[in-house]
A = this chain, B = another copy of it.
Amino acid sequence: MARERRPTLDTVAREVGVSRATVSNAYNRPDQLSASLRERIITTAAALGYAGPDPVARSLATRSGGAVAFMLGSRLSAAFSDPALSIVLDSLSDTLDAERSLLLMPGVDGGPRRESVTRAHADVAVAYSLPDDSAALAEVRKRGLPLVVIDQPVVSGSAMVDVADRAGAALAASHVVALGHREVGVLAFALHPDDRSGPASEARIGSSRFRITRERMAGYLSVLDAPPVWETPGSLREGGREGAHWLLRQVPRPTALLCMSDELALGALRAAHDLGLRVPDDLSVVGFDDTPAAHWADPPLTTIHQDLAAKGRIAAELAISLLDGARPGPARTLPTTLVERASTAAR
């Protein structure tokens, strides 16, 4: 079924009896021609079924106009279930120029497939918490795409925004220790992009390929001595629940749980409920991120606050400035603070 050839600038130009350039101007520089002519052009274009300049051809000619590629470390389902990411992505997309769209590149094995970034119509890439050695990152570099990384080690020549993860985690650990807790368990994100969930060995902890996990762990460990650690891929409530069940079976049983995200902490709350433990009387729980859910939790969650919306906004601003030819400056690191609510208490 031969799709009939669509009309082009040329078709319209010929029909109206003017040059291509004039038709182009009718769309892109209305002030460059008389209103009446423009009117005539637009009208016959519509009559011809011409939809306006082809976006791809325009991009080729202008060498720009693609989207910003947002590279994820996980599938979309995992991504969507992470409220922290939602907030970042939302504020990022809100900050972007109106004409720039968002190319979402889900990960399949710790990152988008190399080939997808090869063919992506993007003129800047944003990496969100990818493993250090992601192939996608290598391809971005090869293509020479400007890059901004979020929560990730600096790739040379890229702009960067992250938060004081290590300090925040240390804050969380110090908080429970100050409250008198001695047996403390840790609910951690994935240490490696292999979808494993279970108790984490020291070896795995030591070799983690995710910066964020590494940093938060380092923060915890700067205060704690070899706590039991459960690792779970993604940032899923159910994963947190499962891990908390395991941690609470350890002897001696932890009286406090440090969680790398609020979602994980919510799962821990649920586990405590399952086991008939009262929070904070029998168990203290600390989250990370301070997402809206931390507020509404029952009890409201003590957590480490970070400004997720700012993270997205800054990432977008950095992307825009790279596009404008600016050179990446030093990393922008956002602060973290402890927010005490009702899920922690002295033991």
Contact = CB atoms under 8 A, between A and B. Distances in A.
A118 interface: yes
A221 B77 CA distance: 34
Q: Number of contact residues on A: which range applies?
A: 35 or more
Interface string A106-138: 100000010110111100000000000000000
Contacts of A118: 52, 55
A178 to B, nearest CB: 33
A198 interface: no
A57 interface: yes
Contact of A121 (B55, B86, B116, B296): B55
Interface in A4-18: 6
B116 A93 contact: no
Given A116-B101, A296-B238, A121 B325 contact: no
Contact of A120 (B55, B80, B238): B55
A56 B60 contact: yes
A230 to B, nearest CB: 19
Contact of A51 (B65, B89, B142): B142
A81 interface: yes
Q: Within the oligomer, what is the number of copies of this chain?
A: 2
B90 A119 contact: no
Contacts of A60: 54, 56-57, 60
A119 B80 contact: no
B325 A1 contact: yes
Nearest to A94: B75
A58 B119 CA distance: 9
Given A80-B80, A83-B81, A113-B98, A121 B51 contact: no
Given A56-B60, A77-B86, A80-B80, A104 B102 contact: yes
Given A59-B121, A60-B60, A115-B99, A80 B89 contact: yes
Contacts of A223: none
Most buried by B among A54, A89, A104: A104
B119 A121 contact: no
A327 interface: yes
Interface of A: 1, 3, 6, 49, 51-52, 54-60, 65-67, 75-77, 80-81, 83, 85-87, 89-90, 93-94, 98-99, 101-106, 113, 115-116, 118-121, 142-144, 238, 296, 325, 327
12 contacts: A3-B325, A51-B144, A54-B60, A56-B56, A57-B60, A65-B121, A75-B94, A76-B94, A80-B83, A80-B85, A99-B119, A101-B116
Given A52-B142, A59-B121, 4 more contacts: A6-B144, A67-B103, A80-B80, A102-B104
